[in-house]
Structures are given as C-alpha cells and as structure tokens.
C-alpha cells in the first residue's frame, strides 16, 4: 500500500516536472536558461545513470566520458550518414552504449575496485583514439553540424533539446528508482557489500553486474547523444573530456548513492554551481571552489546530501560509499 | 491603487530613461566574449585578453566609442567547446552586450558559429582556423592573418621548392589544428605533384620521438613539414638534435605550435636554429606600423602583472587590432548597428597595429599575412634576445620579407 502510494507520488511528480519544463519552453523567451538548464539536466541524467553501477553495485566507473563520447559520436555518425532525426540518434546511442556496457560488464569478471576503474579510463582513451582517426566524423579536427529545422511546438532547437533532456532525466530516474526497489537493486546491494557472500547465497552476480553495466551505459550514451545537436560541433577532446567522468562521480557522491534522489540533488547542486561560477567568477577560482566543495562533502558528509537530510538513509546505505 | 502606483513608476522610469540618454551619463558599450583562462588554451587566451584590455583602456582614455565608455564582459570557457554555447547565450540574452568577440582558438569558437548566424549577430573571430567555411556566416571577421585555407602550406612549400625540394615528409599531431594543416599540406602537395614520401600521424602527448625521427630520416625527404603542439614541438626538436635529420633536408618546420611562445622558445634555445616556422608578428623592421611600438611598450609592462607571455607577439597585438577594427567601423558608421558595422568591415581596408587588414567574402583575410620565419643565431636560456630583430628572419610574405632562406637545414642549424 505504502509502495503503491509512493509510486503515485513519483509519477505525479514526474508528470508535473515535464509539464513545467514544457510550459517553460512555451513561455520563457530568453534562451539563456535553456542553454544553462540543458547542461544541468544532462548532468542529472549522467549522475543518475552513473550511480546505477557506481552507487548500487559499487563498481566505480571512471569511463563516463567513454559512454558519453560514444553517444555523441553515434549521433554524429548517424546524422551525417542518414540525416536521422533526434529520436533515432538517441535510441541508437542507447543501443551502442548498451553494447559497450556489456563489454564493460564482462570486465567485472576479472577486475574489481581500483583495477576496474583504471580499466574504464583505458577504455575511454582507446575509444577516443579510434574516433580521432575516424575521418568520416571529422577525426581529430572535429566536425560542424547543421541542425535540421525545429519541430512544433518548440520555437527554438535549444528549447526542444531542453525538453528532450528533461524526458531523458525522467527515464533515467524512473529506471534507477525501479532498480533500487526491485530484486535487481537488492542483489546489487548484496554484491556491493560482499560479492563472494552474495554469490554463495545464490545472487546471480555476473548477470546483475551485466544488467547494471548495460543499463548505466545505455543511459549515459543516450544522455550524451543530444550534445551533438546542442553544440552543433563535435570534437574528440571535448566529447571524451574526463570532466564528464569526474563530474558524474562527484555529483553522485555529493548527493549520496543510497537512493536515486541523491545523484539528482548532487547534480542540481553541483551543476548549477558550475553554471553560476562560469558566469561570475571567471578564473581558476571556479575550479578551486568545486574542489573545496568535494573535499568538504567527503569529510563532512560521507553519505552525501541525503545522508545529511534523512538519517534513515544512513542506515540503508551501509557498506562502502 | 497598487496598479496605478506601478504604472506611474513605470512612466517615471521611462521618462528618466529618455532624459538620461540625452545627457552625458550614457551607459557603457558592452563587448562580450568568453576566453580560455583555464585549461590547455589558457596561456594564449590570457595574452589575447590582455591585448584587448589594452585597447579598451586606450579607447576609454580617448573618450570611448560614440562618447560612451567601452566595457568588456568576459567569462572563462575552460578551453572547452561545451561551455561556450551557454556563455554566449548569456552574453546576448541576459547581459545584452552590444558586440561580440570570439574566444581564442577554433574549438571554443566552433559551437557559437551557428548561434550567431541564426541570430544575425556580428562576431569578431580570434585566431580560429576555417571555422566559417561550412557555416557561411556573412557577419564573421577573423583577426588572424591566416588568409585562404591552403596558403599556409603553399607558402612553406613555395620556399621549399625554391630551395630545390622535390619530395615531402609530413609529421603531424593527431589533434584538431595540426590535422587541419596536414589536410591542406597533402592537397597542395598533390596539386604540385610533390610526392609525399613519409606521412606519420602521432598521438597527442607523445614525448619520445627518436624512433619517429629515425624513420623519417630513413625516408630521405627534401622537405619536412611538421604540424605539432607545444610539448611535442619541443620533443621533436630534441630528437632531431640528437639523431640528426640528414643532409637532404632543405627546409624543416612549417606548422609547429609553441615556437611562438616565450617560455618554449627560451627553453629550447639554440635547438631552434634553422627551423622555418609560421608566426603572426615578429620584432622585425617590416612589422612596425602606426601604434605597434606603443602597444608593446604597454604590453611589456602589464604582462608581468598579468603573468602572461612576456613577449606576447603571437596573439596580443591581434586582440588589440580586433578592437581597432571595431573602433573604425563604429566611428565611421556612427552607430552600433551590427549589419552596418559588418558592411563597413567587409568593404574597407583597416589600418591596425599589425598592418592593413582586408577581408574576403568568407570573413578571412583576403591575402595571407602568416609569416614564415627562420630562427637564426639563437642562444640558450635567454628570453630577452627574442626582442631584437634578426633572431627570426621573415622569409614570407614578400611584402614583409627581411631575409632569404638558409638551406639546407643542417647548414642553417650552425
């Protein structure tokens, strides 16, 4: 009963959020909020997707940028080859991201902890090098893309992308929420705390890890796909920028990984701070501020914002961060 | 009652607004831009910004533009393409700036090109390379001396062929700018039936070049065209110094990024001798125009405080020139109408501290003014030596030439 009511509240909240976003695109004329808001929404999707593997399963993926870049370049390649619409680009990116996630999932067979993290960094470098030498999508020099005309009811492409990214956030959050409350989530928690013990008690660890990797990868790549149309330009060093990995990880950790709301809060806090700092303190200081924020949270609130807000999550979270 | 008060207030504000626009206290003219102040492009970005700031101070000392002070609105784009769309949206929609300057370099500029085209805004380019070729925006004007896309490779190969070069080796970094150069170099070589005997692309962040240089040497090329980034430029020259490059090589260099910056130059010292490389401004007698010397007097003083490149030849004077062009256009058209300014910029030749500038239809220079210069008589560990003429002799373009190529490369190194 309680669970049922929670569900109603959640879906009502999601609907209100999407309606609010949609009406914002119809009412607000100034485009800046959409440019900045798009980036924040993108980080929410990334942080939530990251925490499915990094938070629930405890496998710290440093290759967010690999999945993100794969999403960007899947969209670019598809758009250049066939002029595919945005929806197809995102769907294709999700499929490619899922396939890549399957590969990463297989890595977890032999590697865990820091070794897994290092392997994911290596993955990002390998894929970036591949894209750098792929002339069809511009190679190292990057590629400029001309956006197709915008679709109704939107009057500008950025507003449309803002709405699309909001939709992706809702999808990511609802999947994360479903996983958290299902057998998969409990299994992942078990293997995070002690993989061997979980395996011995009958938790299908490999299957769960593969599922987590594939879902997380698909969501990250899907969130990255619209970036090609947002920037109207793609170059390997921006698309595979390590800052996506660091940000997604930091946002999830600052928010707390025990509950899906954690990465959302972390991404909103950190993402808006980043956007705000970019247009206020325009110097090295903005990098410093973010660093200090991270350190403060790691020291003062190891379970993140949700650990501070709701002490009961502290109990639920357990184990490693 | 409340509504009436509000209306009254609004009217009062409107009346006051009209009154103040007629008086001497006018709002400043805002010029907005992002500039890489952190990340890989920060060194160049800060020097470029200092050049623009010196122009701002000069113009404000003269009473500003159209009687209004000039104010710069600058944000840090962290050298990344993903930051600039939001920043330029803020500059235009929230800060309501009157004019836009582009950030230094191609990558941060590329994503804002479609935006300015769609909004019909004037954008003054800042050292990006062929960023408008696919977009085709008619209100884009690049301050860089590049000129037509192929002129860069063409000028180097002209020098090489005159010196008797019959085949070419290409050594290029797998990065945006270097690959753009390599692409045009291959095209130009093909057009001239110049065989490419060695074509090596190396990954960014390569530090050890001895095997690559050995392979290059074994191919026995006459012309060695290098397009590299600061850390690898140094690595390549060190390897060449250790291994040698062979007596066949007539000319070496072309597109090595980094050899324009004081820190890299003083670090490499005598290893630079003989290298022919591109540049934008050099302290040679042909490069001084109206105001050039005064600019560098100011720059040299302020560079210490701002902790930027102490020489500042590469970018800073072009930042100043960008301001000078806007100054001329606004003063001539007597307005801030961007279409009018663009028309003026397109149709006239502009006098700047880096020489006369005229634009072709794509917003790049009509003629290339990219220098090819040869390092000569450089000693180790001395920044000040680069302030005197003769250390980098200009070979191209003809108008600015201050000497002839010394060839072969091995002879020029001594």
Using CB atoms, which residue from B92, B115, B176 is nearest to A141? B176
Tokens of B150: 């192929």
Residues B152, B189: Cα–Cα separation, whole Å: 12
Rounded alpha-carbon distances, angstroms, from residue B258 to A38, B210, B235, B264: 36, 20, 11, 6
DSSP-derived secondary structure letter, B66: T
Instruction: Examine residue A204 and state whether it is found in any structural domain, yes or no.
Output: yes
Mutation site for A-interface testing, chosen from B82, B132, B257 by largest number of A Cβ within 10 Å? B82
Location of structure tokens 């113009």: B59
- Nearest Cα of chain B lies from the Cα of A90 at a distance, in angstroms, of 19
Asked if B254 and B315 touch (Cβ cutoff 8 Å), the reply is no
> Which of B74, B113, B174 is closest, CB to CB, to A133?
B174
**pLDDT higher than threshold 50 for residue B8:** no
In the predicted model, what is the mean pLDDT of residues B369-393? 94
- Residues of B in CB contact (< 8 Å) with A are 37-38, 74-78, 80-83, 85-87, 89-90, 92-94, 106-107, 110-111, 113-115, 131, 134-135, 173-180, 183, 201, 203
Would you call B132 exposed, middle or buried from its count of C-beta atoms within 10 A (0-12, 13-18, 19+)? buried
Write down the mean pLDDT value for chain B: 91
B154 Cβ contact list (under 8 Å, min separation 6): B188
Chain A CA closest to residue B179: A141
C-beta atoms of A140 and B174 within 8 A: yes
Q: Quick check: is A232 in a domain? A: yes
> Rounded CA gap, B110 and B98, in Å?
21
Whether A230 sits inside 8 A of B175 (CB atoms) is no
- Residues forming a β-bridge with B394: B373
> Which residues in chain A have Cβ-Cβ distances shorter than 8 Å to B82?
39, 227, 231, 238, 241
Q: Determine the structural domain holding residue A215 and report its residue range.
A: 31-242
Q: Does A254 fall in a domain?
A: no
Q: Residue holding tokens 């020259």? A: B237
Spatial CB neighbours of B181, under 8 Å, sequence gap ≥ 6: B152, B153, B172, B227, B254, B255
Q: What is the CA radius of gyration of chain B?
A: 23
* A chain contacts of residue B178, beta-carbon cutoff 8 Å: 140
Arithmetic mean of pLDDT over chain A: 89
A241: nearest CB among B80, B92, B203: B80
Residue B22's pLDDT is what?
Answer: 40
d(CA B51, CA B60): 14
Give residues with Cβ within 8 angstroms of B58, minimum separation 6: none
Range in A60-74, A299-313, B194-208, B308-322 with the lowest mean pLDDT: A299-313
How far is it, in rounded angstroms, from Cα B139 to Cα B363?
7
Model pLDDT for residues A56-74, shown as the tens digit of each residue = 998 999 999 999 999 999 9
Do B80 and A233 make contact, defined as CB atoms within 8 angstroms? no
Domain count, chain A: 1
A25, A160 Cβ separation under 8 angstroms:
yes
CA angle B336, A36, B41 (to 5 degrees): 75
Strand pairing category for B29-35 and B70-76: parallel
Question: Looking at the partner chain, which of A38, A39, A284 has a beta carbon nearest the beta carbon of B38?
Answer: A284
pLDDT at residue A43 in the model: 96
Chain A residues whose C-beta is within 8 A of a chain B C-beta are 30-32, 34-36, 38-39, 129, 132-133, 139-142, 144, 146-147, 158, 227, 230-233, 235, 237-238, 241, 243, 275, 278-279, 282-284, 286-287
CA nearest B201 in A: which residue?
A133
Nearest CA in chain B to A157: B115
In a domain, A192, yes or no: yes
- In angstroms, the separation between the Cα of residue B110 and the nearest Cα of chain A is 6
Q: Is the peptide bond before B33 cis (omega within 30 degrees of 0)?
A: no
- Flag the least confident range among A265-269, A299-303, B140-144, B331-335: A299-303
Question: For residue B384, is pLDDT > 90?
Answer: yes
CB-based contacts of A192-196 (< 8 A; 24+ apart in sequence): A192/A56, A192/A57, A192/A58, A192/A319, A192/A320, A193/A58, A193/A318, A193/A319, A193/A320, A195/A112
Confidence of residue B7 (pLDDT cuts 50, 70, 90): very low
Percent of chain A with pLDDT over 70: 94
CA A300 → CA A309, B33, B137, distances in Å? Answer: 13, 38, 51
Residue of B111, B175, B178 lying closest to A231 (CB–CB)? B111
pLDDT at B14: 43
The CA-atom distances, in angstroms, between B55 and each of A63, B282, B291, B296 are 44, 20, 11, 12
pLDDT at A312: 57
pTM for the whole structure = 0.88
H-run or E-run covering B81: none
Q: Is the pLDDT of residue B1 over 80?
A: no
Ranges of H-type helices in chain A: 2-27, 32-51, 64-82, 86-107, 114-132, 157-181, 183-193, 195-200, 205-224, 227-231, 236-239, 242-255, 261-278, 285-300, 304-309, 311-317
CA distance to partner chain A, nearest, from residue B31 (Å): 15
| DSSP 8-state secondary structure symbol assigned to residue B149 | T
Kindly report, residue by residue over A195-209, the tens digit of the pLDDT: 999 999 999 999 999
Q: What is the pLDDT of residue A321?
A: 40
CB pairs under 8 A between A and B: 110
Confidence of residue B15 (pLDDT cuts 50, 70, 90): very low
Chain B residue with minimum CA distance to A132: B174
Average pLDDT over residues B392-398: 95
Asked if residue A131 is part of any domain, the answer here is yes
Span B217-239, average pLDDT: 93
Flag whether A317 is in a domain.
no
Assess if residue A26 is contained within a domain: no
Q: Domains, chain B, ranges and CATH? A: 9-147+288-347 (3.40.50.2300), 151-285+370-412 (3.40.50.2300)
Q: Is the ipTM of this complex over 0.90?
A: no
The sign of the CA dihedral B44, B50, B52, B55 is: negative
Of B74, B89, B176, the CB nearest to A35: B89
Residue A85 counted as domain residue:
yes
Strand, coil or helix: what is B246? coil
Q: Compute the average pLDDT of residues B232-252.
A: 93
């Amino acid at each position: 009963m309680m669970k049922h009511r929670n569900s109603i509240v959640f879906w009502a909240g999601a609907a209100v959020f999407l309606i609010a976003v949609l009406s914002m695109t119809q009412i607000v004329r100034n485009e800046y909020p959409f440019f900045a808001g798009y980036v924040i929404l993108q980080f929410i999707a990334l942080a939530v997707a990251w925490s499915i593997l990094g938070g629930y399963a405890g496998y710290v993926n440093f290759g967010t940028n690999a999945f993100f870049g794969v999403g960007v370049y899947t969209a670019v390649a598809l758009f250049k080859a066939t002029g595919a619409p945005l929806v197809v680009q995102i769907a294709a990116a999700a499929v490619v991201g899922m396939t890549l996630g399957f590969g990463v999932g297989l890595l977890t067979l032999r590697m865990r902890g820091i070794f897994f993290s290092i392997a994911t960094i290596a993955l990002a470098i390998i894929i970036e090098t591949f894209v750098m030498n792929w002339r069809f999508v511009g190679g190292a020099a990057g590629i400029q893309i001309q956006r197709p005309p915008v679709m109704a009811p939107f009057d500008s492409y950025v507003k449309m992308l803002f709405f699309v990214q909001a939709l992706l956030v809702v999808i990511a959050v609802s999947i994360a929420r479903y996983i958290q409350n299902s057998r998969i989530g409990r299994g992942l928690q078990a293997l995070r705390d002690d993989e061997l013990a979980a395996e011995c008690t009958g938790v299908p660890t490999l299957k769960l890890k593969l599922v987590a990797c594939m879902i997380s990868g698909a969501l990250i790549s899907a969130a990255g796909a619209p970036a090609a149309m947002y920037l109207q330009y793609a170059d390997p060093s921006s698309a595979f920028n390590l800052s996506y990995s660091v940000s997604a990880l930091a946002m999830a950790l600052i928010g707390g990984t025990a509950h899906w709301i954690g990465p959302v809060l972390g991404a909103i806090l950190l993402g808006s701070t980043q956007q705000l700092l970019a247009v206020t303190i325009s110097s090295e200081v903005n990098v410093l501020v973010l660093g200090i924020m991270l350190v403060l949270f790691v020291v003062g609130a190891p379970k993140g914002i949700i650990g501070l807000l709701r002490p009961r999550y502290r109990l639920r979270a357990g184990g490693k961060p | 009652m409340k509504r009436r008060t509000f209306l009254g207030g609004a009217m009062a504000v409107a009346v006051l607004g009209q009154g103040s626009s007629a008086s001497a206290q006018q709002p400043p003219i805002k010029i907005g831009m992002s500039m890489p102040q952190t990340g890989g492009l920060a060194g160049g970005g800060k020097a470029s910004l200092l050049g623009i700031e010196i122009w701002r101070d000069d113009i404000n000392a003269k009473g500003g533009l159209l009687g209004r002070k000039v104010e710069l609105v600058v944000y840090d784009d962290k050298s990344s393409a993903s930051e600039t769309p939001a920043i330029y949206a803020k500059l235009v929609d929230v800060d309501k700036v009157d004019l836009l300057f582009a950030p230094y370099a191609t990558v941060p500029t590329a994503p804002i090109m479609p935006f300015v085209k769609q909004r019909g805004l004037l954008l003054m380019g800042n050292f990006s390379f062929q960023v408008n070729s696919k977009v085709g925006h008619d209100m884009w004007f690049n301050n860089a001396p590049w000129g037509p896309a192929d002129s860069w490779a063409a000028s180097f190969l002209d020098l090489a062929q005159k010196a008797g070069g019959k085949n070419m080796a290409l050594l290029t970094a797998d990065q945006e700018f270097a690959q753009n150069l390599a692409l045009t170099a291959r095209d130009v070589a093909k057009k001239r039936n110049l065989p490419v005997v060695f074509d090596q692309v190396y990954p960014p962040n390569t530090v050890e070049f001895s095997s690559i240089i050995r392979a290059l040497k074994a191919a026995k090329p006459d012309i060695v065209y290098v397009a590299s980034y600061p850390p690898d430029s140094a690595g390549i020259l060190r390897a060449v110094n250790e291994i040698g490059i062979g007596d066949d090589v007539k000319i070496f260099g072309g597109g090595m990024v980094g050899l324009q910056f004081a820190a890299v130059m003083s670090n490499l010292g005598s290893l630079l001798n003989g290298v022919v490389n591109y540049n934008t401004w050099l302290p040679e007698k042909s490069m001084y125009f109206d105001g050039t010397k005064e600019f560098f007097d100011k720059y040299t003083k302020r560079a210490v405080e701002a902790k930027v490149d102490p020489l500042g030849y590469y970018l800073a004077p072009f930042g100043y020139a960008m301001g000078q062009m806007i100054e001329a256009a606004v003063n001539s058209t007597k307005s801030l109408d961007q279409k009018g300014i663009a028309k003026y910029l397109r149709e006239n030749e502009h006098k700047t501290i880096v020489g006369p500038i005229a634009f072709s239809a794509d917003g790049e220079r009509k003629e290339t003014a990219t220098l090819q210069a040869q390092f000569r008589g450089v000693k180790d560990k001395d920044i000040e030596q680069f302030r005197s003429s003769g250390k980098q002799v200009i070979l191209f373009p003809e108008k600015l030439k201050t000497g002839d190529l010394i060839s072969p490369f091995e002879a020029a190194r001594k």
